[in-house]
């Protein structure tokens, strides 16, 4: 029997909504699973990092800190084709709202003016999510396929995975990315 293409997915800074849209494929998920081997994904117990030589990697979310950057680079190294799934991965989406200069006000409100403040000061922690600029995935690694939408429609994810599973690059048109 021919070896099935392998697929791995992971998320960076997002809301998990794109992976939920993946699950919205419903019965078609069963069909896709018959044609691919899902080697690692946060939506099952297969949470270990993907091994080298994965055919298709799917990443959700913007790159927000050094650990996101590590995950993005690891996926790029280990996956032949890399898919940016959802607006956060494609162009930065909602996480990039923090890049607009209201950072200090947000930090003061959370850490200084809040009733639950611990010592009345903003922590000096470079890994604090809001301290860093959020970036779209292709500012960190090369991306092969863009699947926009917040989240992308289940139909678009299905079409993209089906094409990739058959060794073709998906050519999604406007109507494929429309919810209605």
CB of residue 90 to ligand SF4, shortest distance in Å? 8
Name residue, tokens 């996480």. Answer: 95
Candidates 80-88, 102-110, 157-165, 170-178; binding stretch for ligand SF4 (CB under 6 A): 80-88
Asked whether position 136 contacts ligand SF4 by CB under 6 A, the answer is no
Candidates 33-41, 72-80, 86-94, 154-162; binding stretch for ligand SF4 (CB under 6 A): 86-94
Asked whether position 18 contacts ligand SF4 by CB under 6 A, the answer is yes
Cis check: omega of the bond before 166, within 30 degrees of 0: no
**What is the four-CA torsion angle of 36, 13, 149, 54, rounded to 10 degrees?**
-20
Q: In the complex with ligand SF4, which residue's Cβ is closer, 6 or 83?
A: 83
Cis check: omega of the bond before 151, within 30 degrees of 0: yes
Instruction: Decide if 95 contacts 61 (C-beta within 8 A).
Output: yes
Q: In the complex with ligand SF4, which residue's Cβ is closer, 93 or 170?
A: 93
Instruction: Identify the residue among 22, 79, 84, 87 touching ligand SF4 (CB under 6 A).
Output: 87
| Residue 149 CA, distance from chain mean position | 12
Segments in the chain forming alpha helices (H) = 17-23, 27-35, 66-78, 87-91, 103-111, 154-165
Candidates 2-10, 14-22, 31-39, 171-179; binding stretch for ligand SF4 (CB under 6 A): 14-22
Residues that bind ligand SF4 (CB under 6 A): 14-15, 17-18, 60-61, 86-88, 93-94, 150-151
């Amino acid at each position: 029997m021919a070896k099935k293409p392998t697929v791995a997915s992971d998320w960076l800074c997002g809301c998990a909504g794109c992976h939920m849209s993946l699950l919205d494929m419903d019965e078609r998920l069963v069909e896709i699973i018959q044609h691919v081997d899902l080697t690692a994904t946060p939506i099952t117990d297969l949470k270990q990092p993907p091994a080298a030589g994965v055919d298709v990697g799917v990443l959700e979310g913007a790159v927000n800190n050094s650990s996101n950057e590590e995950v993005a680079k690891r996926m790029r190294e280990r996956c032949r084709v890399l898919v940016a799934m959802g607006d956060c991965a494609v162009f930065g989406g909602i996480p990039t709202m923090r890049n607009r200069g209201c950072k200090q006000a947000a930090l003061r409100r959370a850490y200084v003016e809040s009733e639950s403040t611990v010592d009345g000061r903003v922590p000096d922690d470079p890994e604090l999510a809001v301290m860093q600029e959020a970036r779209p995935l292709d500012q960190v690694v090369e991306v092969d396929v863009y699947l926009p939408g917040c989240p992308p429609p289940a139909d678009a994810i299905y079409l993209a995975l089906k094409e990739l599973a058959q060794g073709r690059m998906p050519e999604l048109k406007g109507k494929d990315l429309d919810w209605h």
